[in-house]
Structure 1
Amino acid sequence: MTTSLSMTVGGVQTVVQPLLMLGYADTRNTNTVVHTVLGAAEPDVMWRPPSLRTGTFQFLFDNSDDAQTALTIVQNGAPALMDDTDRPELAMSFVASGSVSLELDDQTQTLWVLSVGFQEV
């Protein structure tokens, strides 16, 4: 399995590969609008396409340099790319949205956990 985070700025690509994806959760709004019609048994339904994914993911890094590079990628102010060879359905272009945190693992004091709130773009 290979997960990667990447960005391209000024024609230069930066790529980092975490040791492991620790977590992934997404939600999508349906955007369907349902109107109650007075005197009718059935509502009026306006079908709309769902929104793009929003959620959080967590990555584990075995060194500070890679963790800091990943932090730079997700906070660069431009869309980043997440790719996973074992789970291609997770691949996306995204921007950080909400909270981003980088934590040193208390037990090992060598592993780093990056948690990212994201919005697919």
Structure 2
Amino acid sequence: MSVIVSSTAFDTPPVAPILVEGWETSRAARNVVHERLFNADPIVSIRPATTRKGTLRYLFATASAAQACFEMHAAQAVFTVTTTISDELPVTLRYVATDEVKQLLDPETSLVTIIEIPYREAPQ
């Protein structure tokens, strides 16, 4: 599985984690159901869903590559991750970093570094 993370920031080279260690995503449906007095049938307002949001966890073999990814996500930019998931389906996600980007040592091995990024999907 190959992973490439790129940025729209000027002069920022892409980084290549060895693995997307975690990919958690959710999306709010935003539909509204209005219950009515004396009527069993509700009124439903259909609204478009929000863009995806969640947390990405990138695994890096070297501290220098992890640091480059950590610094990359401090820039004012839109990021793109391109990878394949287990069934060989290519996946591309455009996102912006939200909240705190974290850099941590893998607790199981203490040999690899994890970058954890809370994100919100950026529309095309």
Under a length normalisation based on structure 2, what TM-score does the superposition of the two structures give?
0.85
Which residue does 1:2 correspond to in 2? 2
Unmatched segments (≥5 aa) in structure 2? none
Shift of 1:109: 4.3
Corresponding letter in the other structure for 2:80:
L
Alignment match of 1:88 (pick from 79, 87, 90): 90
Q: Kindly report which structure 2 residues correspond to 1:1-121, keeping only aligned pairs within 5 A, or say none.
A: 1-10=1-10, 12-85=11-84, 86-89=88-91, 91-106=92-107, 108-121=109-122
Shift of 1:106: 5.0
SS of 2:28's equivalent? coil
Shift of 1:83: 1.1
User: Structure 1 pair 9/100, CA: closer, same or farther in 2 (3 Å)?
Assistant: closer
* 8 A Cα contact 1:81 1:93, kept in partner: yes
- RMSD of aligned residue pairs (Cα, Å): 1.7
Q: Which whole-Å deviations, capped at 9, do the CAs of 1:55-94 have from their partners, x for residues lacking one?
A: 01111101112101111222212211111134434x2111
Distance 2:12 2:71 in 1: 12
Distance 1:8 1:14 in 2: 10
User: Structure 1 pair 35/72, CA: closer, same or farther in 2 (3 Å)?
Assistant: same
SS of 1:99's equivalent? coil
SS of 1:119's equivalent? strand
User: Structure 1 pair 49/95, CA: closer, same or farther in 2 (3 Å)?
Assistant: same
